[in-house]
């Protein structure tokens, strides 16, 4: 249901808080809301789904050209309200480790297992029809070696999440509340628990701030805003904190787009059918394909992924001197030739020199805009030239085509080449095996934080060249599955929030329970568990500073290391009905010593809950 921003609302009752009401956010809300209580926070409203966020989401663009509003939409439905319906899944090849920066930390199979779920939610066919031939696979091109087609999908009905039907669907969801006109402006990691600050941006209360306590926060605000919010929130803490992307401060780095170029003039036998390279409706089914090269050719030449669209411009001009000078054999092959416009949509490699940062310019609420600096690396420019050369050569093998580079693309150096772009903002909180090479782990959890996850294009380690909608939803389905699996496998959950504190669990060494949990205070803390047959525990919480801990269960050491790492793993116990847990801390500090506030407690572990299985 849609709710108002009221002081007397129980804001602490939500199991999940989701920032952003686009594809990822609304999919996760719908799935997680089947079992848990969910709050969706959206900066826009529901009356103007195509509002581009003027006053809230402008950007400062440097480097290559990016639109000032970044092709982002505020409002219920988010940028999903701009979706034209074209989509395709990732190629298995992008899950290989390619280039100098580590790629996806998950396998293609791990991702592809969730494609059926994504396709169903987007109202796509159960699977792509990969066997029915299209025009590029028959006729004069049939049997051309090294060339192939990449098929795109269109749903029977384009899912417009800002539509009246979608609004009505979410309005009646029992466990999902939607708060509109509320912009997430800050994430707070403090001794009082984790929270997110919301700006009320209604006309009546512009700029009023509310802080929500959170159990689990999911950022689904897009490739630019996810990074901007994390960077702004991380400014308050020590260098290298999880919000700014760990020790290498990777949040915002490796911003990727899908560059578009028009490098070729192409003259094509008039008998060639180009109908499949544009959107057509055949027997009620939308179809589109782009021309490309086979995986074998890509591997052999080390090419990035690309797709080519061709558009018939009619017969070449009669006065085209260069065309008329083509060899007589070529001119005799067909009754006439057509002039074809060719566009390449390209994969971009992750490149640290392309990034999202905080601008010195402020929005109307006094927060910094995002500065988007889009660059394409020299290695990618060289690769794109190779892609064009290889494709042109393969296309010409039958003798039915002549190609030539357009004037702007004839130099070896493509530094000054003009690029178009698709409005697909990717890679700014990339997924990785390690916090040294990414912002989120393979489960989309921010490294070093137990209850902060990110979904959407920003977690893409590589982006392929295809439109990302299916892949956003597939990865959101994967995240929903993991979160639901955690919920279903938790067994007994002991909570340590103030209002849920149970007697006899915390024995000593703990501060008074706060809204979201309690802090250890000092070098030793103790918990007594009475859960029959307990064999494993998982602590939901976080460490303070660089604190270390040795955890003993019934006198036996079961963990030794950093408190942060303790909150990211499951610890084995011996299965006794009674478990005495002793935490022995080292390398402690207080917020006062860290210069944060006047709190003198020696903080080690903030514990919100403990899952016992």
DSSP-assigned states of every residue in 277-315: GS-EEETTEEEEEEEEE-HHHHHHHTPPPEEEEEEE--S
In this prediction, what percent of the chain has a pLDDT beyond 90?
43
In a domain, 371, yes or no: yes
Asked whether 90 and 107 are in contact (CB, 8 A), the reply is no
Answer yes or no: do 202 and 299 share one domain.
no
In a domain, residue 353? The reply is no
- Residue 100 to residue 110: CA distance in whole angstroms: 23
483 and 518 in a common domain: no
**Same domain assignment for residues 198 and 294:** no
Q: Which of 13-22, 193-202, 329-338, 401-410 has the lowest mean pLDDT?
A: 329-338
Residue of 579 and 454 predicted with greater confidence:
454
- Which tens digit of pLDDT belongs to each residue from 362-411? 988 888 999 999 999 999 999 999 999 999 999 888 777 888 898 899 98
Residue 145's contacts (CB-CB under 8 Å, 6 or more residues apart) are: 394, 397
What is the rounded distance in angstroms from the CA atom of residue 206 to the CA atom of residue 185? 13
pLDDT at 499 over 80: no
Residues 6+ apart with CB under 8 A from 565: none
Domain boundary among 465, 488, 511: 488
SS3 track for 94-140: HHCCCCCCCCCCCCHHHHHCCHHHHHHHCCCCCCCCCCCCCHHHCHH
Lowest mean pLDDT among 240-254, 292-306, 575-589: 575-589
Percent residues over pLDDT 70 in the chain: 88
When mean pLDDT is compared across 263-277, 460-474, 549-563, the lowest value belongs to: 263-277
Average the pLDDT over 114-140 and give the result: 76
Same domain, yes or no, for 149 and 168?
A: no
The reply to whether 250 and 278 lie within a common domain is no
The residue range of the domain holding 587 is: 492-612
Q: What is the pLDDT of residue 205?
A: 52
Q: Are residues 250 and 327 in the same domain?
A: no
Q: What is the pLDDT of residue 113?
A: 94
Q: Is 356 part of a structural domain of the chain?
A: no
520 with 399, same domain? Answer: no
| Residue 554 three-state SS | coil
d(CA 470, CA 41): 23
In the prediction, which pLDDT does 84 show? Answer: 78
Q: Residue for token digits 């707070």? A: 188
502: which DSSP letter?
Answer: P
Task: Indicate which CATH number applies to the domain containing 213.
Answer: 3.50.50.60
- pLDDT-derived band at 320 (thresholds 50, 70, 90) equals low
pLDDT at 469 > cutoff 90: yes
Q: Can you give the CATH number for the domain in which 525 is found?
A: 2.60.120
Tally Cβ neighbours within 10 Å of residue 6.
Answer: 9
- What does the buried/exposed string (b/e) look like for 430-460 if buried means 16 or more CB atoms within 10 Å of the residue's CB? bbbeebebbbbbbebbbbbbbbbbbbbbbbb
**Whether residue 385 is found in the same domain as residue 284:** yes
Buried b (16+ CB within 10 A) or exposed e, 341-374: ebbbbbbbbbbeebbbbbbeeebeeebbbbbbbb
Q: Is-above-0.85 flag for pTM?
A: no
Cα(215)–Cα(142) distance, rounded to whole angstroms?
Answer: 57
Same domain, yes or no: 236 and 177: yes
Domain count, the chain: 3
More confident residue, 79 or 276: 79
218 within some domain:
yes
Let me know the angle formed at the C-alpha of 426 by 422 and 430, rounded to the nearest 5 degrees.
165
DSSP state of 157: S
Q: Are residues 398 and 429 in the same domain?
A: no
Q: How many residues belong to the chain?
A: 613
Q: 162: phi > 0 → left, psi -120 to 50 → alpha, else beta; which?
A: alpha
Mean pLDDT value of segment 116-133: 76
For residues 519-533, average pLDDT: 88
Asked whether residue 361 is assigned to any structural domain, the reply reads: no
Q: Among 217-221, 251-255, 338-342, name the one with the lowest average pLDDT.
A: 338-342
CA separation for the pair 142, 133 (Å, rounded)? 10
Query: Do 74 and 183 contact (CB within 8 A), yes or no?
Result: no
Structure tokens at 107: 């396998």
Task: Decide which of 488, 505, 531 is a domain's last residue.
Answer: 488
pLDDT at residue 117, as a whole number:
94
**Looking at the structure, do residues 14 and 76 belong to the same domain, yes or no?**
yes
* Region 309-318 average pLDDT: 74
Is residue 360 assigned to a domain?
no
State the pLDDT at residue 399. Answer: 76
| Average pLDDT value for the chain | 85
Tell me which of 437, 466, 488 is where a domain ends: 488
Q: Is 520 helix (H, G, I), strand (E, B) or coil?
A: strand
Q: Which of 252, 461, 276 is nearest to 356 (CA)?
A: 252
Other beta carbons within 10 angstroms of residue 60's beta carbon come to: 17
Q: What interhelical angle do 164-171 and 23-32 show, nearest 10?
A: 30
Within-domain flag for 576: yes
Query: In this structure, are 477 and 385 located in the same domain?
Result: no
Least confident of 108-122, 389-403, 470-484: 389-403
Does 358 fall in a domain? no
């Amino acid at each position: 249901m849609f709710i108002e921003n009221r002081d007397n609302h129980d804001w602490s009752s939500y199991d999940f808080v989701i920032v952003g009401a686009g594809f990822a956010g609304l999919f996760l809300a719908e799935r997680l809301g089947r079992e848990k209580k969910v709050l969706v926070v959206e900066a826009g409203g529901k009356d103007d789904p195509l509002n581009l966020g003027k006053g809230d989401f402008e950007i400062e663009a440097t480097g290559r050209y990016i639109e000032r509003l970044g092709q982002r939409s505020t409002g219920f439905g988010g940028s999903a309200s701009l979706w034209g319906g074209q989509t395709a899944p990732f190629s298995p090849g992008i899950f290989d480790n390619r280039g100098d920066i580590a790629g996806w930390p998950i396998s293609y199979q791990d991702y592809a297992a969730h494609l059926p779920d994504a396709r169903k939610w987007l109202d796509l066919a159960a699977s792509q029809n990969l066997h029915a031939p299209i025009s590029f696979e028959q006729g004069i091109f049939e049997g051309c070696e090294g060339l192939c087609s990449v098929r795109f999908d269109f749903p029977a009905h384009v899912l417009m999440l800002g539509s009246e039907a979608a609004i009505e669907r979410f309005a009646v969801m029992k466990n999902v509340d939607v708060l509109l006109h509320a912009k997430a402006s800050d994430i707070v990691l403090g001794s009082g628990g984790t929270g997110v600050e919301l700006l009320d941006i209604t006309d009546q209360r512009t700029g009023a701030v509310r802080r929500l306590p959170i159990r689990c926060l999911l950022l689904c605000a897009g490739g630019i805003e996810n990074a901007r919010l994390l960077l702004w929130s991380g400014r308050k803490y020590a260098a290298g904190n999880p919000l700014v992307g760990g020790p290498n401060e990777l949040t915002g780095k490796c911003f990727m787009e899908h560059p578009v170029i028009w490098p070729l003039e192409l003259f094509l036998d008039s008998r060639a059918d180009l109908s499949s390279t544009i959107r057509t409706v055949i027997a009620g089914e939308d179809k589109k394909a782009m021309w490309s090269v086979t995986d074998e050719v890509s591997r052999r030449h080390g090419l990035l992924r690309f797709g080519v669209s061709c558009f018939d411009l009619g017969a070449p001009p009669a006065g085209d001197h260069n065309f008329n000078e083509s060899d007589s054999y070529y001119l005799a092959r067909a009754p006439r030739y057509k002039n074809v416009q060719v566009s390449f949509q390209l994969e971009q490699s992750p490149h640290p020199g392309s990034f999202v940062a905080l601008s010195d310019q402020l929005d109307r609420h006094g927060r910094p805009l995002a500065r988007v600096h889009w660059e394409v690396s020299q290695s990618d420019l060289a690769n794109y030239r190779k892609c064009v050369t290889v494709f042109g050569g393969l296309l010409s093998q039958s003798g039915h085509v002549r190609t030539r580079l357009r004037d702007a693309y004839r130099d070896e150096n493509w530094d000054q080449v003009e690029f178009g772009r698709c409005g697909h903002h990717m890679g700014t909180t990339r997924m990785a095996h390690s916090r040294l090479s990414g912002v989120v782990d393979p489960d989309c959890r921010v490294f070093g934080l137990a209850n902060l996850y990110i979904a959407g294009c920003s977690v893409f380690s590589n982006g392929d060249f295809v439109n990302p909608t299916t892949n956003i939803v597939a990865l959101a389905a994967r995240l929903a599955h993991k979160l639901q699996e955690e919920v279903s496998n938790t067994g007994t959950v002991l909570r340590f929030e103030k209002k849920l504190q149970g007697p006899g669990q915390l024995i000593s060494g703990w501060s008074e329970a706060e809204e979201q949990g309690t802090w250890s205070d000092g070098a030793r803390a103790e918990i007594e568990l009475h859960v029959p047959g307990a064999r494993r525990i998982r602590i939901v919480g976080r460490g303070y500073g660089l604190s270390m801990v040795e955890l003993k269960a019934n006198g036996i050491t079961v963990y030794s290391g950093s408190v942060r790492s303790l909150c990211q793993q499951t610890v084995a116990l011996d299965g006794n009905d009674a478990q005495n847990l002793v935490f022995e801390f080292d390398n402690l500090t207080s917020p006062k010593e860290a210069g944060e506030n006047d709190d003198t407690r020696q903080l080690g572990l903030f514990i919100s809950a403990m899952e016992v299985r």
